[in-house]
Amino acid sequence: MKTIQRLTAFLWLPLMAITCTTTPEIPEKIFFYVGSSDGSIERSIFLCELDSTRGQLAIVDSFPGSKGSSYLVLSPDKDFLYAIDGTQSDPQKKYPSVASFQVTDPEGRLQMMNRQSSEGRGICHVSCHPGGSHIFVANYSEGTIAAYPLGDDGSISPASDIIQHTGTGPNAGRQTQAHAHHIIPDPSGDYILATDLGADKIFIYKFDPESGTLTPNPEQAFFMAEPGAGPRHLAFHPTEPYLFIVNELNGTTTSCSYDPQTGRMEEITTVSNLPADFSGNNWPAAVRVHPNGQFVYASNRGDLNSITVFQIRESGAIERIQIMEDVPTHPRDFNLDPHGKFLLVAGQQADEIEIFRIDSNTGKLSRTGQKIQMKAPACILFID
């Protein structure tokens, strides 16, 4: 019954989007967290504020308890935050950790609670089940993923399942073994998808919240990307059965259809993130979908630090409509505010975050000139 309810909610969202004609008021202050990848600083998670009327940013506070927190996720009820933590919690294997924090007040301040071993080297992503029962991590260096039950108090229990990916690709420098890079549940929480840059695959798992175990999806165990693509991150459409993959090694973005009942996905179109005459190094990093469901954004690091904007067609195909160049150096992450008015770019090597304005009609970006300095920003997470 729970599964049916979740799927029903996922499927009726398009109708709700069509019939809802009122535009919610945008609050003056919008709060978000930033995770820093710099493992040498004691306070690697920052609470920040976006002034939506002036388009300005400010740091409100910062918190100790984890190091090198290059990815963050909130629980569905916003009461807890989970972070990548470079602290070694396993003295024998010397693995890093995933850490839990309690949100202690309405403004979003944090208190560290506990940590668990990441069960693999090179932890690079953490996500939370939509039911709030588990978190999931991806470990790049060893190509493993893991699921962790959460206590009622938000604390992390030892891993309930650990899976070793296998596979290689044609890129001799980057694909000699599996490299799990991103792991997220689908909107229903019935399936867990994990991108693997080394194997050129999106692994698809059935998830059992009672046992906390991941089982290869019998309908489709994996989606095979183009050889050498190096799938890195993915994002689901907010209302339609589509998802979008950014490919790090060949500089493209792929749109796919997605069946929430079977967990099956199929390619619709793949488009380059870069101009046709581009030559040089490029490593796409993150992909996001506009809240209105009409546009997709992807970040590019390398000789052309940029954000590529795509328009989503009715079929789920994407068309490139803009490349915003000269964004902060090495944009490992970026995010859109929940109302779709601003896009914030985290320049990991520039030590700054820059804010861009979004045209809600065209999806295109324009500069505001507003920036804020911060050490190695690597993840932007809005609270609301």
Q: Identify which of 178, 190, 187, 241 has the alpha carbon closest to the alpha carbon of residue 218.
A: 190
| Phi and psi angles of residue 344, each rounded to the nearest 5 degrees, phi first | -105, 130
Q: Three-state SS for 30? A: strand
CA neighbours closer than 13 Å in the CB half-sphere of residue 328: 28
Kindly indicate the confidence band of residue 6, based on its pLDDT and cuts at 50, 70 and 90: very low
The whole-number pLDDT of residue 24 equals: 63
Question: Tens of pLDDT along 291-321?
Answer: 999 999 999 999 999 999 999 999 999 999 9
The whole-number pLDDT of residue 90 equals: 77
110-117, strands of its sheet edge to edge: 72-74, 80-85, 97-103, 110-117
Whether residue 17 has pLDDT greater than 70: no
Residue-range domains of the chain with CATH: 2-382 (2.130.10.10)
CB–CB of 269/244 below 8 Å?
A: no
Residues 6+ apart with CB under 8 A from 361: none
CB–CB of 362/340 below 8 Å?
A: no
**What is the three-state SS of 129-188?**
CCCCCEEEEEECCCCEEEEEEECCCCCECCCCEEEECCCCCCCCCCCCCCCEEEEEECCC
Q: Identify which of 32, 94, 95, 98 has the alpha carbon closest to the alpha carbon of residue 65.
A: 98
Other beta carbons less than 10 A from residue 160's beta carbon: 16
Question: Tens of pLDDT along 173-204?
Answer: 999 999 999 999 999 999 999 999 999 999 99
Interval 83-112 mean pLDDT? 93
CB–CB of 124/71 below 8 Å?
A: yes
Q: Tokens 């790049």 label which residue? A: 140
Kindly indicate the confidence band of residue 13, based on its pLDDT and cuts at 50, 70 and 90: very low
Question: Tens of pLDDT along 222-281?
Answer: 999 999 999 999 999 999 999 999 999 999 999 999 999 999 999 999 999 999 999 999
Amino acid, res. 348: Q
The whole-number pLDDT of residue 93 equals: 84
Beta bridge pairs of residue 94: none
Give the rounded percent of residues in the chain with a pLDDT score beyond 70.
94
Q: In this structure, what token pair is assigned to residue 325?
A: 């160049």
Question: Tens of pLDDT along 49-84?
Answer: 999 999 999 999 999 999 999 999 999 999 999 999
Q: Identify which of 136, 284, 300 has the alpha carbon closest to the alpha carbon of residue 213.
A: 136
**pTM for this prediction:** 0.93
120's torsion region: left (phi>0), alpha (psi -120 to 50) or beta?
A: left
